[in-house]
Chain A
Amino acid sequence: MFSERERERYKRQMMLFGDEGQERLKKAHIFIAGAGGLGSPVSIYLAVAGIGTLTVVDRDVVDQSNLNRQILHYDRDIGRKKTESAEEKLCAINPDIRIRVIDTTIEEKNAGDLVGKADGIVDAMDNYPTRYLLNDVSLRKKIPLFHGAICGFYGQATTIIPGQTACLACIFPKAPPKEVFPVVGVTPGLIGMVQATEVLKYLLKRGELLTNRLFIWDGIQAHADEICIERNPRCTACGSFCETPGDI
């Protein structure tokens, strides 16, 4: 059931997917790993769309150098916990949803508990070791993983449905070297929108998901590419978790 305020707030999108669709969003719980360049636009747009519960995890404090892209955080937030800053903004953006923030580092020992019974995991991390942890949790708990990553004007995104699609380790078996990556805010903005759109479509059961496809964006050329991907029969991550490893 929706309050009058909610009906008014979501009126224009309920023209698209009705009470039933909006109810699906309201009942959903999405876990967002990171409140940085990708986590900011993803969480803002999922909040305004009316996802019932958003959990946002981050371990950092806001730094001045974050502000060219991490649009959840303002100049006045410098030195403040990103989770605190994110909670304040997201609650103000939509007081009709539940925002949970957790100020911690995602590690092997806590990743499963942090994700809990979420309906989807958004990968808004900036490193592959943590992404592989999220991938493992996604496979173990059979929770979809919405991957995104960026560098400079380039970005990539894909949607992983455990047991059905290639997993993150099938696509990227080895992590690229860690580096301080250049970035301009529009790139995580764009890739974050791809991820958030995927989350909505998954919850609404609408359209074609970005499964077994890697979306590649080149902002310099204003060109989007798509590469078909498939499960890797030799994948060390999904071979032991998937129920049907033989159906490759």
Chain B
Amino acid sequence: MWFFLRNTGGHMMKVKVRFFARFRELLGTDVIVEVGERTTLPDLIKQVTQKNVEGYNAIFDEHGHFREYVILMRNAKRIDIADAAMNIVADGDDVAVFPPVAGG
């Protein structure tokens, strides 16, 4: 499933966001999003989830912070959610967002 989200103005970059497990059910599998320069990781995920209340709420808390168990990967590298806001996305980035599953 592919979605294309478009922003306007400035130099646009294409970034791929992949969701897993429950996040995937709510938000789809892969999203290609165009974002402006200086877009941070939280901005990116908020942009992708803004029109999906349930999806947004699964990933962000009431203060707009990543829920503490959310796992973020950027180009196969783990990004601590505490450092996410310091990460500026670049053209061609592959961002993965997933919740650990718990059952056995």
Show the binding face of A for B, using Cβ within 8 Å: 34, 36-39, 123-128, 148-152, 154-156, 171-172, 174-179, 181, 183, 188, 216, 218, 221, 225, 227-230, 232, 234
Contacts and interface: CB of A to CB of B under 8 A. Distances in A.
A36 B104 contact: yes
Interface residues of B, number: 22
Given A151-B22, A218-B20, A179 B102 contact: yes
B76 A227 contact: yes
A176 B100 contact: yes
Contact of B69 (A36, A152, A176, A230): A176
Contact of B78 (A148, A156, A178, A232): A232
B74 to A, nearest CB: 11
Given A174-B68, A216-B20, 5 more contacts: A37-B104, A151-B22, A176-B99, A183-B103, A221-B29
Contacts of B96: 227
Given A172-B71, A174-B68, A174-B69, A229 B104 contact: no
B73 interface: yes
List the 8 closest A-B pairs by CB distance, nearest first. A181-B103, A151-B101, A126-B104, A174-B68, A154-B21, A176-B69, A174-B69, A228-B76
B102 A230 contact: no
Contacts of A183: 103
Contacts of A126: 102-104
A122 B29 CA distance: 30
A218 B103 contact: no
Contact of B104 (A175, A188, A221, A234): A188
21 contacts: A34-B104, A37-B103, A128-B100, A151-B101, A151-B102, A152-B21, A156-B100, A174-B69, A179-B102, A188-B103, A188-B104, A216-B21, A218-B21, A221-B29, A227-B96, A227-B98, A228-B76, A228-B77, A229-B78, A232-B78, A234-B80
B14 interface: no
A55 to B, nearest CB: 17
B97 to A, nearest CB: 11
Contacts of A38: 104
A176 B104 contact: no
A231 to B, nearest CB: 10
B24 interface: yes
Contacts of A229: 78
B77 A155 contact: no
Nearest to B22: A151
B100 A227 contact: no
Contacts of B99: 176
